Structure 1
Amino acid sequence: MVEINITYEGGLRSSAVHAPSGCVLKTDAPLDNQGKGESFSPTDLVATALGTCIMTLMGIVAERHGIDLGGASIKVNKFMATAPVRKIERLEVRIEVAGIEDEKNRERLKQAALGCPVHATLDGCCALDMSFSWPA
């Protein structure tokens, strides 16, 4: 269990404190939903959680197998639905890892990404489109 304490700051902004570390994260409503868009929106954090979870799991596998993950990047595009309710409709995840020529290591990293707990949690809740590129 992890405790996160959230305080409303007004103006559609909140502050969240990660109790174990004291790290603070702030949110703002997006421009298209009455906010100023000056920070992550709550749904942006869902997309961020997916991308960072995938990167973390890939990092664990990379460290375990001596794979150089340096410079790896993930881009998540979030698409919202507005009807019948406002919600995340689709998340596109583009994973780029350069310099991985060994097919076995590529497959290890793919399986790590697909095994991400956030991915498992979101599966069935919205469309998840994940792709990999392996530039030299």
Structure 2
Amino acid sequence: MATSEIIYKGDLRTEATHLQSGEKIITDAPVDNQGKGQAFSPTDLLATSLGSCMLTIMGIAARERGIDLDGIGCSVTKIMGTDPRRVTELHVSFDLKGRDFSDKEKAVLEHAAKTCPVFYSLHPEIRKEITFQY
């Protein structure tokens, strides 16, 4: 079964539908590539999926160990290259401040983040800078 269906809406905009849930995502081309930048660009989604995947896998590891992660987050910065135009770097910064994690819990969470499927699926030439702020 397909995962999604995507329709070109014109003016460099697409609408993707997640077939299992019916949820929709709109994409626009970014301003620096002839677009309006009024929604996530496809490469924004690539970058964002890394952060979401890392948080999800951290959540699984935390749940298995009784660690509360509710409300933690991360920010993702995407760096684009040229010739060809592509994502060259992704910076993910986790905000875990205000929590009293043991050294063992920190190690578990950091390992989980760096073993998410998206992390492994990205081309090895994409530089990944991952930081954890406690």
Alignment of 1:19-38 (within 5 A): 19-38=19-38
Encode CA deviations 1:27-56: one digit per residue, 9 max, x unaligned.
000000000000000000000100000010
Q: Which deviates further from its counterpart, 118-127 or 31-40? A: 118-127
Residue 57 to residue 2, structure 1, CA distance change in 2 (3 Å)? farther
Pairwise CA distance, 1:123:
4.6
TM-score, structure 2 normalization: 0.95
How many residues get paired? 133
Q: SS of the counterpart of 1:74? A: strand
Unaligned runs of 5+ in 1: none
* Contact 1:100–1:106 (Cα < 8 Å) also in 2: no
Q: Percent identity?
A: 43
Separation in structure 1 between the aligned mates of residue 100 and residue 123 of structure 2, nearest angstrom: 27
- Give the corresponding residue for 1:75: 75
TM-score, structure 1 normalization: 0.93
- Give the corresponding residue for 2:90: 91
Separation in structure 2 between the aligned mates of residue 2 and residue 59 of structure 1, nearest angstrom: 26
- Give the corresponding residue for 2:112: 112
* Contact 1:71–1:97 (Cα < 8 Å) also in 2: no
RMSD: 1.2
Q: List structure 1 segments (4+ residues) > 6 angstroms apart after TM superposition.
A: none
Unaligned runs of 5+ in 2: none
- Give the corresponding residue for 1:7: 7
What is the one-letter code of the residue matched to 2:85? R
Q: SS of the counterpart of 1:26? A: strand
